[in-house]
Chains A and B, each alone.
Chain A
Amino acid sequence: MKGMTPIVKEVTALVAGFIAIFGAHVVFHGHLSPGGGFPGGVILACGLILLCLAFGREFVTGLVGEKTATVYDCVGALAFLFIGTVLGYYGGVFFSNVLVGGKPDFLLTDGGIILPCNVAIGIKVGACLFGAFLALSLFRPGSKTT
């Protein structure tokens, strides 16, 4: 699988960066606008899958391989758990919102632990679903090259 036609490659090269920025925007503004860690992470994974389909698998696995996806998956999950347990320990309650303070003013810093939680979930879900796609397309025994 060496990728698709030059038209698809050109359009993907133009669009891929914007998809990544949009995914990051959805993750980081989860507490201000609709979205959040889960949809944002899926958008990031979709961008990587688009690169995979357009440029061929080897192009993307050079950047983000199966091992990297697994590592980011675990890092995101552990970061989320860390926020829940360690910060929750200081707050007294599991997942207590220790970082919130002052008046809500529609800034990125609102919401206390919600932003770090969203980032952790975004990393986790993005790496997770991209890893699932890689597993489905890489690990097939005797896979036909399309």
Chain B
Amino acid sequence: MVFDPTVAVYALIAFMFLGSIIAIEARDLLSTVISVSAVGAALSVIALLVGAPDISITQVVVEVLCLIVLIRVVVTRQDETVDAHPSDAATAMGLAFAAFLVVVCAVGFVGLRPFGQPLLADAKVGAGTMGAQYLEQSFASTGSPNAVMGVLLDFRAYDTLGEATVIFAAVIGTYVLLRKVGRKNA
């Protein structure tokens, strides 16, 4: 009997909603950080359940790193949360934007395939698409048994280069912003 992950996935999604709401409403910054991490942990379990171990590993590992860094930042800083209410205009604007987002999502998600039935699982529609070609040829033409790596670093290595550039630029920016002294006299 094949394990059907759908129920577990929906339960985890509900858990993620709960965690997000707690993260927004919590008074304490530390509780917010921990709630966000719980959401990330649930996301990694979902990735594992739907059969994406690569994403799951990356998610867990990055989540742990972010948790450590955020807790370090939060613990050493005082909570400077201002208990101010936004003005009426800002609230109206926010609500209008949220409604707009909901409408766009509702219209856009109609065109998606139903959950649990990816394009490649459909023999008629999926055959001949680029994804199917990747899956067929990745083992033979890249020699990589892990098809994800075959796509990531062979067929789509250019995208990976862009991703590496983004991280590089982000960390260089961190160095520049956080260095101890401006080097005016150096």
Contact of A114 with B149 in the complex, beta carbons under 8 Å: yes
Contact of B164 with A121 in the complex, beta carbons under 8 Å: yes
Complex CA distance for A22 and B75, rounded to whole angstroms:
29
Shortest beta-carbon distance, A35 to chain B, in Å? Answer: 6
With A34-B57, A73-B168, A112-B154 known as contacts, the answer to whether A42 contacts B62 (CB < 8 A) is yes
Complex CA distance for A33 and B72, rounded to whole angstroms:
33
Contact of A32 with B142 in the complex, beta carbons under 8 Å: no
| Of B76, B150, B153, B175, most A-chain CB atoms within 10 Å | B153
Contact of A135 with B168 in the complex, beta carbons under 8 Å: no
Contact of B171 with A131 in the complex, beta carbons under 8 Å: yes
Contact of B144 with A114 in the complex, beta carbons under 8 Å: yes
| Of A73, A77, A95, most B-chain CB atoms within 10 Å | A95
- Chain A interface size range: 35 or more
Interchain CB contact (< 8 A) of A129 among B65, B141, B149: B65
What are the interface flags for B34-66 relative to A under an 8 Å C-beta threshold, 1 for contact and 0 otherwise?
Answer: 000000000000000000011011100110110
A5 contacts partner chain B, Cβ-Cβ < 8 Å: no
Shortest beta-carbon distance, B143 to chain A, in Å? Answer: 4
What are the interface flags for A30-54 relative to B under an 8 Å C-beta threshold, 1 for contact and 0 otherwise?
Answer: 1111111011001101100100010
Shortest beta-carbon distance, A127 to chain B, in Å? Answer: 9
Which residues of A, 103-146, contact B by the 8 Å Cβ criterion?
Answer: 104, 106, 110-114, 117-118, 121, 124-125, 128-129, 131-133, 135-141, 143-144, 146
With A70-B175, A131-B171, A131-B175 known as contacts, the answer to whether A35 contacts B54 (CB < 8 A) is yes
List chain A positions with a Cβ less than 8 A from chain B. Answer: 26, 30-36, 38-39, 42-43, 45-46, 49, 53, 70, 73, 77, 80-81, 84, 94-95, 97, 100, 102, 104, 106, 110-114, 117-118, 121, 124-125, 128-129, 131-133, 135-141, 143-144, 146
Supplied contacts A33-B146, A121-B164, A132-B170, 17 more A-B pairs, CB within 8 Å: A31-B144, A53-B68, A73-B168, A77-B168, A84-B158, A110-B144, A110-B145, A111-B142, A111-B143, A111-B154, A118-B149, A132-B69, A133-B65, A135-B171, A138-B180, A143-B76, A144-B76
List chain B positions with a Cβ less than 8 A from chain A. Answer: 53-54, 56-58, 61-62, 64-65, 68-69, 72-73, 75-76, 139-146, 148-150, 152-154, 157-158, 160-161, 164-165, 167-168, 170-171, 174-175, 178-180
